[in-house]
Amino acid sequence: MKAIISNYENKSARIKVKIPRNSILWKSEIEKISSSFFHKYQKQWSIPNTSANLAKLKAIFKDEYEIIDAKSGSRRERVNLSAEEENRLLEVEQKMILGGNSSSTIKAYKGELVWFFKFFENRNLEDLNKSDIETYVYKMKSKYKFSDSRQNTMINAIKFYYEKVLEKDRTYYNIKRPKKSQSLPGVLTMSECFSIVNSPRNLKHKAILQLMYSSGLRISEVTKLRIEDVKSADKQLFIKASKGKKDRMTVLSENVLILLREYYKANKPSYWLFEGAGGEQYSTSSIQKVFRKAVKETNVNPWVTPHTLRHSFATHLLQSGVNLRYIQSLLGHGSSKTTEVYTHILKVNNDVVRSPLDSFMDNIKLPRQ
């Protein structure tokens, strides 16, 4: 059997490699490549996506390999809108701004509606029925291999246009949605989290990563922190207008507070707790780069993201016996069901939970063989 190399042609950070199970020599050679990682559930290897690494793989496999295109689907080309269609987009943007929607949601909805308007450019949008819209969603998903979450964004954008802009009845956009997946968030061990957040030598970078993990913050929440949000006397951190425009308080680690004081003395930020070069908010892309570098230096699972620190924060609190309601409040979840997903991640402790078969066997006498 041949080795399969994929993801080299696209912009993925890592090349994926599948080899036969009995290829012990190939396995040992891949292990020698820096930052190689075996994904046990996908049963494949991955290595950093560089031309040098591709050359190494070709040398390892000689002629026994195949390179495939692993892109999820075709890329939608750019389209030109008419003046009428541009006006429709402007209406959508105005309604969303007045409704207090975030800039990222506005951008996502407008991006989907561009294609919706273009697809039906020769039809009166008010005459479309549920079947027309579901056919559109089906064609987009089939052609471009959209994920379930992307499909939901598409439907939500169409829903917004008909409900808020055209003021249609709710039944008009009761479109069939994909079944919600039951996937579990990835988490790291405490030691892995410590390795990552303690990796940066730069004081600001270390403070950012340690604060993200120790307080369970989203990456966008870190960039919006003001100096006044650090409530050092109460050992609390104030998160203003986070997801859903909700304020909340979360825990502030005593060790991180000491680090923040050291950072403040060295950097003297004026308003935002973490500032960019010109005194503006520190960017999410900069934090992502800091995180990726820390992950690379510590050889932790390369597929983790900054949000994994938040998932790990919640799971580790649950492991230490913190009440689920407290964790829900610290994370800012509107529903306890969102927080309950972390209960499924915890490993079963056999000292606490015993199989009913073992309990039964303890109470009976087995016949001698």
CA distance 2 to 57: 12
Position 284 pLDDT exceeds 50: yes
Q: Report, as an integer, the average pLDDT of 172-195.
A: 73
Q: Are residues 159 and 196 in the same domain?
A: no
Q: Are residues 326 and 243 in the same domain?
A: yes
**Domain for residue 339, yes or no?**
yes
* CATH number of the domain within which 106 lies: 1.10.150.130
What pLDDT sits at residue 8?
A: 55
Q: Are residues 155 and 297 in the same domain?
A: no
Structure tokens at 295: 């992950």
- Per the structure, how many domains does the chain have? 3
Residue tagged active-site, from 56, 310, 311, 316: 310
Dihedral over Cα of 259, 315, 237, 224: its sign: positive
**Domain for residue 364, yes or no?**
no
What pLDDT sits at residue 286?
A: 93
CA distance 293 to 201: 11
Q: Are 259 and 207 contacting, i.e. CB atoms less than 8 angstroms apart?
A: yes
What pLDDT sits at residue 365?
A: 57
Residue tagged active-site, from 56, 204, 205, 333: 333
Which amino acid makes up residue 180? K
Nearest to 204 by CA among 306, 272, 136, 149: 272
CA distance 180 to 341: 14
**Domain for residue 75, yes or no?**
no
CA distance 161 to 126: 11
Q: Report, as an integer, the average pLDDT of 231-245.
A: 88
* CATH number of the domain within which 339 lies: 1.10.443.10
What pLDDT sits at residue 261?
A: 96
For 129, half-sphere exposure in the C-beta direction (CA atoms, 13 angstrom radius) is: 1
| pLDDT band at 350; cut points 50, 70, 90 | very low
| pLDDT band at 368; cut points 50, 70, 90 | low
For the question of residue 88 being annotated catalytic, the response is: no
Q: Are residues 166 and 21 in the same domain?
A: no
Residue tagged active-site, from 218, 224, 311, 316: 218
Work out the burial of residue 345: count CB atoms within 10 Å of its CB; fewer than 13 is exposed, 13-18 middle, 19 or more buried: middle
What pLDDT sits at residue 76?
A: 61
**Domain for residue 290, yes or no?**
yes
Q: Are 32 and 73 contacting, i.e. CB atoms less than 8 angstroms apart?
A: no
Show Cβ contacts of residue 128 under 8 Å, excluding neighbours closer than 6 positions: 120
Q: Are residues 15 and 143 in the same domain?
A: no
Q: Are 345 and 184 contacting, i.e. CB atoms less than 8 angstroms apart?
A: yes
**Domain for residue 117, yes or no?**
yes
Instruction: Please give the residue that has the higher pLDDT: either 349 or 229.
Output: 229
Position 171 pLDDT exceeds 80: no
Locus of tokens 């029925």: 129
Q: Are 50 and 35 contacting, i.e. CB atoms less than 8 angstroms apart?
A: no
Q: Are residues 17 and 58 in the same domain?
A: yes
**Domain for residue 62, yes or no?**
yes
For the question of residue 311 being annotated catalytic, the response is: no
What pLDDT sits at residue 321?
A: 87
Q: Are 209 and 298 contacting, i.e. CB atoms less than 8 angstroms apart?
A: no
Q: Are residues 293 and 161 in the same domain?
A: no
CA distance 304 to 186: 7
What pLDDT sits at residue 214?
A: 94
Position 352 pLDDT exceeds 80: no
Q: Report, as an integer, the average pLDDT of 189-215.
A: 95
Q: Which pLDDT tens digit goes with each residue over 106-165?
A: 999 999 999 999 999 999 998 898 889 989 988 888 887 777 788 889 999 999 999 899
For the question of residue 243 being annotated catalytic, the response is: yes
Long-range contacts of 59-63, Cβ-Cβ distance < 8 Å, separation of 24 or more: 60/3, 60/26, 60/29, 60/30, 61/2, 61/3, 61/5, 61/26
Q: Are residues 227 and 320 in the same domain?
A: yes
Structure tokens at 68: 């495939």
What pLDDT sits at residue 183?
A: 57
Position 2 pLDDT exceeds 90: no
CA distance 310 to 74: 33
Q: Are residues 53 and 92 in the same domain?
A: no
Residue tagged active-site, from 71, 95, 141, 307: 307
Q: Are residues 88 and 61 in the same domain?
A: no
By residue range, what is the domain housing residue 265? 190-344
What pLDDT sits at residue 180?
A: 59
Torsions phi, psi of 281, nearest 5? Answer: -60, 140
Q: How much is the mean pLDDT over the chain?
A: 84
Q: Are residues 62 and 127 in the same domain?
A: no
Q: Which helix (H) or strand (E) holds 117?
A: helix 103-119
CA distance 329 to 336: 9
For the question of residue 218 being annotated catalytic, the response is: yes
**Domain for residue 209, yes or no?**
yes
Residue tagged active-site, from 141, 164, 240, 243: 243
Nearest to 4 by CA among 53, 45, 41: 45
For the question of residue 333 being annotated catalytic, the response is: yes
For the question of residue 282 being annotated catalytic, the response is: no
| pLDDT band at 218; cut points 50, 70, 90 | very high
**Domain for residue 336, yes or no?**
yes
| pLDDT band at 51; cut points 50, 70, 90 | confident
Q: Are residues 39 and 139 in the same domain?
A: no
CA 154 to chain centre: 19
Q: Are 115 and 76 contacting, i.e. CB atoms less than 8 angstroms apart?
A: yes
Crossing angle (nearest 10°) for helices 148-160 and 83-98: 90
Flag the least confident range among 80-94, 187-201, 227-241, 353-367. 353-367
CA distance 305 to 232: 28
Q: Report, as an integer, the average pLDDT of 252-269.
A: 94
